Chains A and B, each alone.
Chain A
Amino acid sequence: MRKRIVRGFRMWQRNVDVFKSHYMASIVGNIGEPVLYLFGFGAGLGALVKQAGGVSYMEFIAPGMMAAAAMNAAAFECTFGAYTRMAEQKVYEGILATPMAVEDIVLGEILWGATKGLMSSLIMLAILVLFGLFDKFAEIPLIIVNMAALGVAISALTLCVTAVSGSYETFNYFFTMFLTPMMLFTGIYFPADRFPSWFSSLFLFFPTVHAVNINRYLFHGGSVTMPLLGAAFMVFFIPFGVWLSTRMIKKRLIPAP
């Protein structure tokens, strides 16, 4: 177990080394996007929508946008990024000639996806502080845990998609059918109770809505039922996701007879 974590960390470290050589571009994107979104949605839509969920519109979207930042960064890293390493550059194949196993590679990729998710969401948080949209500093440790958990869950989920992708185009299915709906219907930009309950319930099987609920609770308080349910979901979903993504990537890299 200790060996697995050390080796998973080696894969993570490889990604960090690469990231160091072009971190500026990445960080500019990470800062630029949220500012544009906050300004666009907050100022534009916020002028029309005076209040949502008992707070101003800007305040309403703040916790969800943090989750969205984590989700997007992790999803991009573990689809396009991981696919490039696996299928285009054959980096995994090179690594498999060493004592590293598929399990270690997958663990490292998930940790890296979560790291990028966490970085994006923390940059978002810093901007929220600058805009005066966040002042619950005591909640930051729990927010970090929540965003890291979302990053891990999304990374594992998206690696499953990567495992069965034949080309970059395949990711269009995933982004259109899963990621965009998870942006729109999980209470990030508007309360999820606007939609028929059978429809909203579908999203309870995926991690995003839970992370949004937890974040919203940590930002604004309110009922603790859904956030607790969300935490329980994550506790089950994460090990399952890690197991499934490892299994699927292994099936692709080391084809059984």
Chain B
Amino acid sequence: MAIVDAKNLGRNFGPFHAVDGINFSIQEGECYGFLGPNGAGKTTTVRMVQGLLPRSSGDLTVFGMDIDRRPDGIKSQLGVVSQENNLDRDLTVRQNLITYARYFDMPTDEAKKRADELLSFLQLDAKKNDRLSTISGGMQRRLAIARALINNPRLLLLDEPTTGLDPQARHLIWRRLTSLKKQGITMILTTHYMEEAERLCDRVAIMNTGKILIEGRPAQLVAEIIGEEVTELHIDEDNRQQALNRVRELDVNYEMYGDTIYIYNNGRRVMPSVLEIGHRSVLHRKATLEDLFLKLAGRTLVDG
């Protein structure tokens, strides 16, 4: 049975279709990522799964239950880290967890024990009696993750869990999420960091203007659409048109953004000819999800 199953799911805000008839199905233990620019409909989708936004159309079941009919049954098994910080700023770090546990009807002793376990799992022990205003953004995000885990959720919703954090804080969160994944928790993740999606997600859906453009395993999608390798050719402004004409003659797939031409796959075959084109620098590397994203962006994605 699918943990989350959406059929033709849609949500309007007045005349605006924030989510426009999407289908997806998430299996137990899977980490599923929604990627896309701002305004693509990722957060709206997550909020519908969470029962915070009623849908306009379609069907949505979580753990096999309809969120409109059984919000309690679903929410008691759900952990949510929202995009906007909604920790309780009037309480200390540890109080945040204990108070939150109460909303799940957890007995106080158990809540305290669980809170201390989670504080140590997310390396917040030293800060447990601090007020929220005195801890860093990275720590607050870790606390939000700890809070989302207080009820031992079966499904964890993470809406941009590392946006705005420094690389160190981000890596710490990635490590923790990886270890949760190993424990078998099903996760839904939204992000616009392709590296994050590549590391964590078993499957991704790339969204734009409320629709899912493509869906699949990150490595497979990249291999199918981009290929194995990418050559980046950095060129000077005055050389742009000439370089572009030369690349066209090579009969390869390419995209151009600003002062960089991305040549997809077969880079090795044409490498000698590429190197003859006037350039500032050249980079030959493995293709990533970011290439896929940018390629789709070149065609269809618009930043909302």
Contact = CB atoms under 8 A, between A and B. Distances in A.
Given A18-B90, A254-B52, A101 B99 contact: no
A55 interface: no
B103 A95 contact: yes
A10 B102 contact: yes
Contact of A257 (B11, B75, B90, B105): B11
A165 interface: no
A96 interface: yes
A93 B78 CA distance: 14
Contact of B12 (A17, A21, A91, A257): A257
A101 B76 CA distance: 12
B95 A99 contact: no
Interface stretch (B27-35, B81-89, B160-168, B258-266): B81-89
Interface string A67-99: 000000000000000000000011101111111
B271 to A, nearest CB: 52
A93 to B, nearest CB: 5
A256 B103 contact: no
Contacts of B151: 98
Nearest to B12: A257
B55 interface: yes
B75 A99 contact: yes
Interface centre among B50, B54, B87, B99 (most CB of A within 10 A): B99
A94 B88 contact: yes
A39 B278 CA distance: 89
Nearest to B82: A93
Interface in A1-15: 6-7, 10, 13-14
A91 to B, nearest CB: 5
B233 interface: no
A96 B148 CA distance: 12
Nearest to A88: B89
Interface of B: 11-13, 50-56, 71-72, 75-76, 78-80, 82, 84-91, 95, 99-100, 102-105, 147-148, 151
Ordered nearest first, which 9 A-B pairs have the shortest CB separation? Answer: A90-B86, A98-B103, A257-B56, A97-B80, A94-B86, A18-B90, A93-B86, A99-B72, A99-B76
11 contacts: A7-B103, A13-B99, A17-B91, A21-B90, A93-B52, A93-B82, A94-B82, A94-B86, A94-B87, A97-B148, A100-B103
Given A96-B52, A98-B76, 10 more contacts: A6-B105, A14-B91, A17-B91, A18-B91, A89-B90, A94-B100, A96-B51, A99-B72, A100-B103, A254-B54
